[in-house]
Amino acid sequence: KLPDGADLLRFRRMPIDLAGRPNPLALLNQAGPCALDGNILTTGEDYDAWRYTLEKTVRKELERSWRVFTRDPAASFAIVTDPNEALRILSTTEVQQGTRMQSLGRNYVLNDETSAGFYRNLVRDGVDNGYALVSVLTVGDEVVATLLGIRTGARYVMVRISNAGEKWSNCSPGRLIIERTMAALHRDGVRDFDFSVGNYAYKRRFGVMRLPLIDIRAALS
């Protein structure tokens, strides 16, 4: 109702509950179901016990992928703690994701000026304090897979993921970097892993629980 105020209010993909309490926005008349679900995984205190809840074929495939990847003595996994290095890895994420989406014929917008600037600021400002986490699989100087997420206490949310493509498909680098990141963060106290929206098969293999989400669209003028 202010000069230059919004004519349309739109919130998308919101959880119904926030930290165990009702999301007040979910109680509004304009709230309705979202077409997409969230995907949440809680491991509990014993990470190995959680791993053994996975289907045997999934567990064995993850173990095989790590063996294949680490055949090269230069292969490594790391969570990047230097902001400049994290920004360099993010630039690779942008290229790898863009290449993947173009090959699928998808409308890809994360590399436009506004979106790219948002993620670069997130990494630049958030790596030092542990809010933004950039993890990476590398072989020497080659970046094989990347994962960008955010952490708040014992909760971690996956935001962007990428890999170097067909060359490394024999070690399933996307799933591998997720599992390596989860293992590292679990040792540091994370117990809830949010795989974000999208009902992809790889998320189901990790045993996620689907989380209903809501949208709000409200005309203000």
The string of pLDDT tens digits covering residues 127-136 is 999 999 999 9
Q: How confident is the model at residue 220 (pLDDT cuts 50, 70, 90)?
A: confident
Residue 3 has a pLDDT of 78
What percent of the chain shows pLDDT beyond 70? 100
pLDDT at residue 2 tops 80: no
Residue 203 has a pLDDT of 92
Q: How confident is the model at residue 1 (pLDDT cuts 50, 70, 90)?
A: low
Check if the beta carbon of residue 209 is closer than 8 Å to that of residue 41: yes
Distance between CA atoms of residues 98 and 68, nearest Å: 26
- Rounded mean pLDDT, 23-40: 92
The string of pLDDT tens digits covering residues 162-212 is 999 888 999 999 999 999 999 999 999 999 999 999 888 889 999 999 989
The string of pLDDT tens digits covering residues 59-106 is 999 999 999 999 999 999 999 999 999 999 999 999 999 888 777 777
Q: How confident is the model at residue 12 (pLDDT cuts 50, 70, 90)?
A: very high
Partnered with residue 10 across adjacent β-strands are: 217
Q: How confident is the model at residue 110 (pLDDT cuts 50, 70, 90)?
A: confident
Residue 19 has a pLDDT of 75
Closest CA to 207 of 32, 4, 56, 36: 56
Amino acid identity at 14:
M
Long-range CB contacts for residues 203-207, cutoff 8 Å, separation at least 24: 203/39, 205/54, 205/55, 205/58, 205/175, 206/41, 206/54, 206/58, 206/178, 206/179, 207/41, 207/53, 207/54
